[in-house]
């Protein structure tokens, strides 16, 4: 039984984290546990693949227009009605916060800027842009993939616990790790210099920034 469970664990790690086959073989044949940074690197690879594949999937769905969507109540705190893909297999490429194409202007400044930029575009291009560029694989944050706070497996250091609220010309940064899920957040003035990994950091006392999966943002206007 232990051998079966270990096989399943390694199989799932390979499938979901895209763990390299040599690592899986090594763990199977020895007592060595794969370190967190190896899972992080392979998980980032897996999400990158989902982003690329999602760009093509969402393009096909977007070209089908409104008939490929449905209205649902958001799982986010606001519980607003949002537009999502009607196919269950496309759930990962939706967005529980804003929808695949917001029905009204978002309340956050970043969302408002994206709304202003895209509101006169064709519907299919709006949906593709919001679901593939602004919020790629957004609903991973609502699965086990997200980082959830556990004080026994959390560490964090930097000069600001919530760089997103930073105002000024100084560079504020934070690095944190929940188990094998790390995150880096660096902000200077009105720009995000980098946000990589999981959403570590948020309004105190919350060290995890809501339901967040992995991020890849380099120097963009907040």
Range 56-68 average pLDDT? 91
Question: Residue 85: inside a domain, yes or no?
Answer: yes
Considering 29-38, 56-65, 94-103, 130-139, the range whose residues carry the highest mean pLDDT is 56-65
Question: Residue 210: inside a domain, yes or no?
Answer: yes
Number of Cα atoms under 13 Å in the Cβ half of residue 113: 6
Pick from 146, 139, 115, 159: which is nearest to 209 by CA?
146
Confidence of residue 14 (pLDDT cuts 50, 70, 90): very low
Q: Between 48 and 100, whose confidence is greater? A: 100
The answer to whether 139 touches 96, Cβ cutoff 8 Å, is yes
58 with 91, same domain: the answer is: yes
- Per-residue pLDDT at 66 exceeds 70: yes
Question: Residue 69: inside a domain, yes or no?
Answer: yes
Question: Residue 135: inside a domain, yes or no?
Answer: yes
78 with 118, same domain: the answer is: yes
Q: What share of the chain is helix, strand, coil (3-state, %, to 5)?
A: 45, 20, 35
171-184 pLDDT, tens digit each: 888 888 887 777 88
Q: Between 103 and 195, whose confidence is greater? A: 103
82 with 137, same domain: the answer is: yes
148-172 pLDDT, tens digit each: 778 888 888 888 877 777 777 788 8
110 with 169, same domain: the answer is: no
Question: Residue 43: inside a domain, yes or no?
Answer: no
Which of 142, 172, 198 marks a domain boundary?
142
Cβ atoms within 10 Å of 123's Cβ, excluding its own: 12
Q: Is the preceding peptide bond at 172 cis, omega within 30 degrees of 0?
A: no
Which of 101, 124, 142 marks a domain boundary?
142
Neighbour-count burial for 185-219, b at 16+ CB within 10 Å, e otherwise: bbbbeeebbbbbbbbbbbeeeebbbebbbbbeeee
Residue 36's pLDDT is 60
Give the domain extent around 88: 49-142
β-bridge pairing 154-158 and 81-85 = unpaired
29 with 54, same domain: the answer is: no
158 with 216, same domain: the answer is: yes
Question: How many domains is the chain built from?
Answer: 3
53 with 128, same domain: the answer is: yes
Which of 142, 169, 185 marks a domain boundary?
142
11 with 73, same domain: the answer is: no
138 with 157, same domain: the answer is: no
pTM: predicted TM-score of the whole model, two decimal places: 0.66
Q: Between 54 and 26, whose confidence is greater? A: 54
101-146 pLDDT, tens digit each: 888 888 777 778 888 888 899 999 999 998 888 877 778 777 777 7
Residue 123's pLDDT is 93
Question: Residue 19: inside a domain, yes or no?
Answer: yes
Question: Residue 180: inside a domain, yes or no?
Answer: yes
Phi, psi (deg, nearest 5) at residue 15: -70, -50
Pick from 216, 36, 41, 191: which is nearest to 140 by CA?
216
68 with 133, same domain: the answer is: yes
64 with 109, same domain: the answer is: yes
28 with 112, same domain: the answer is: no
Question: Residue 44: inside a domain, yes or no?
Answer: no
- Per-residue pLDDT at 19 exceeds 60: no
């Amino acid at each position: 039984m232990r051998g079966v469970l270990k096989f399943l664990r390694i199989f799932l790690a390979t499938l979901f984290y895209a763990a390299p086959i040599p690592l899986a073989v090594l763990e199977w044949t020895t007592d060595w546990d794969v370190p967190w940074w190896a899972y992080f690197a392979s998980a980032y690879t897996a999400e990158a693949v989902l982003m690329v594949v999602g760009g093509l999937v969402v393009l096909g769905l977007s070209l089908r227009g409104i008939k490929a969507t449905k209205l649902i109540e958001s799982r986010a705190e606001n519980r607003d009605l949002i537009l999502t893909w009607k196919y269950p297999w496309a759930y990962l490429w939706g967005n529980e916060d804003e929808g695949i194409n917001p029905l009204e202007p978002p309340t956050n400044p970043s969302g408002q800027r994206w709304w202003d930029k895209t509101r006169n575009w064709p519907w299919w291009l709006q949906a593709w842009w919001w679901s593939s560029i602004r919020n790629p694989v957004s609903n991973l944050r609502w699965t086990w993939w997200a980082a959830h706070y556990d004080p026994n497996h959390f560490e964090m250091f930097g000069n600001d616990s919530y760089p997103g609220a930073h105002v000024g010309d100084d560079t504020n940064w934070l690095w944190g790790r929940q188990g094998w899920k790390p995150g880096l957040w660096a902000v200077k003035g009105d720009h995000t210099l980098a946000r990589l990994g999981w959403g570590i950091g948020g309004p105190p006392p919350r060290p995890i920034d809501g339901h967040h999966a992995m991020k890849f943002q380099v120097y963009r206007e907040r």
